[in-house]
């Protein structure tokens, strides 16, 4: 299975019965149609320490990109971010291929990614393709891994079970270069997680097969990570003429109640290009004193508004990040939650 996963971008094949729910034609006026939602807030995965056991859970790769909803309606496409922002123009290939699916109306739920040479998703590569935080570039080479179908041909599918929605999704998605089904993996959850970690992936997702689609983080979906990756706010940076882009390290903060708490710094993962661009953004946010009490001289402190995605290996005893590596900035449109520490 490892070889197959590497070849197809860590996907897999599962023998399933075809969808048994009939598709309805919006042009048949005699049939009552469900109103197409303008926006559906996404179902979010709850972080779990270990994979669940049993056959009640569907397993998928955890993709590392931007969560998107693809709205198709009568020859038009809208691509919405998790926060509801219209990013259709930023994913032109996905928008084009969505129309090629030949669906009268549909809402696909999935993750836009850029794959590396191993077939694994690379968040930094996606960010660079989009021109960085606040950039206006389009990621023409991005791929959408669709993992749910919320609406199809006049029918709201959210009340169906995940298995039923997945059957309809696999029937609706025809092979396209930029739109693929995020495959279900027929494997023991613990073994799948071990393999995903061996391959250097971020982790796996487990979803209740019999659950309807519920917005929010209710526990129907779980994420189990190999390497922790969370969003922190940049508090400031240590300037260094010898470092890439002049940034020696970034100082990071997490939310603690209504305030912020210092959680350590990160210097690994910055490139000359990303560090230079980041320093320009930070230049317009400088303040005299740090937003949280930190005793460190020679620092440039900034208003803590820029959310940085950081991978790390764990926590030290004094509450700092261990083996941290910078991945990129999160967009406001993605509305990624800033990590919270215990009060």
Catalytic residues: 62
- Cα separation, 255 vs 311, in Å, equals 17
Q: Which strand (E) or helix (H) includes residue 239?
A: strand 228-239
The β-bridge partners of 203 are 225
Task: Please report the DSSP string for 136-173 in residue order.
Answer: ----TT-EEEEEEEEEETTEE-TTS-HHHHHHHHHHH-
Beta carbons of 289 and 235 less than 8 angstroms apart: no
Q: What is the 8-class DSSP label of residue 215?
A: S
* Tokens found for residue 225: 């990570």
The three-state secondary structure class of 191 is: helix
In order of 67, 237, 246, 287, the CA distances from 179 in angstroms are 14, 39, 39, 44
Beta carbons of 71 and 241 less than 8 angstroms apart: no
Measured in whole angstroms, the distance separating CA 44 from the mean position of its chain's CA atoms is 10
CA-angle at 12, arms to 143 and 162, nearest 5° = 80
- Cα separation, 115 vs 19, in Å, equals 30
Beta carbons of 285 and 277 less than 8 angstroms apart: no
Tokens 């509450």 found at: 319
Nearest in space to 326 (alpha carbons), one of 277, 259, 257, 256:
277
Nearest in space to 328 (alpha carbons), one of 312, 314, 313, 310:
310
Report the first-to-last Cα separation within the chain, whole angstroms.
Answer: 44
């Amino acid at each position: 299975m490892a070889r197959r996963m590497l070849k197809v971008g860590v996907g897999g094949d599962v023998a399933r019965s075809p969808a048994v729910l009939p598709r309805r034609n919006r042009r048949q006026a005699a049939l009552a149609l469900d109103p197409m939602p303008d926006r559906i807030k996404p179902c979010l995965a709850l972080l779990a320490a270990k994979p669940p056991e049993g056959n009640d859970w569907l397993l998928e790769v955890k993709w590392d990109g931007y969560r998107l909803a693809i709205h198709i309606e009568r020859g038009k496409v809208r691509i919405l971010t998790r926060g509801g922002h219209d990013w259709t123009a930023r994913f032109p290939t996905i928008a084009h291929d969505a129309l090629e699916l030949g669906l009268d109306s549909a809402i696909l739920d999935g993750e836009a990614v850029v794959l590396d040479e191993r077939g694994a998703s690379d968040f930094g590569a996606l960010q660079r393709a989009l021109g960085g935080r606040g950039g206006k570039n389009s990621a023409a080479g991005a791929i959408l891994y669709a993992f749910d179908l919320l609406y199809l041909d006049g029918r709201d599918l959210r009340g169906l079970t995940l298995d039923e929605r997945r059957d309809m999704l696999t029937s609706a998605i025809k092979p396209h270069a930029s739109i693929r089904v995020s495959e279900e993996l027929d494997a023991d959850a613990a073994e799948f997680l071990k393999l995903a970690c061996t391959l250097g992936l971020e982790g796996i997702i487990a979803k209740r097969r019999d659950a309807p689609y519920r917005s929010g983080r209710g526990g129907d979906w779980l994420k189990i990570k190999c390497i922790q990756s969370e969003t922190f706010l940049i508090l400031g940076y240590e300037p260094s003429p010898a470092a890439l882009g002049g940034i020696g390290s970034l100082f990071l903060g997490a939310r603690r109640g209504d305030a912020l708490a210092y959680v350590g710094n990160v210097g690994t993962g910055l490139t000359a290009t990303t560090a230079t661009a980041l320093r320009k953004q930070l230049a317009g946010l400088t303040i005299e004193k740090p937003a949280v009490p930190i005793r460190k001289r020679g620092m440039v402190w900034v208003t803590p508004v820029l959310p940085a995605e950081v991978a790390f290996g764990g926590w030290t005893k004094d509450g700092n990040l261990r083996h941290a590596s910078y991945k990129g900035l999160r967009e406001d449109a993605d509305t990624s939650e800033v990590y919270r520490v215990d009060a």
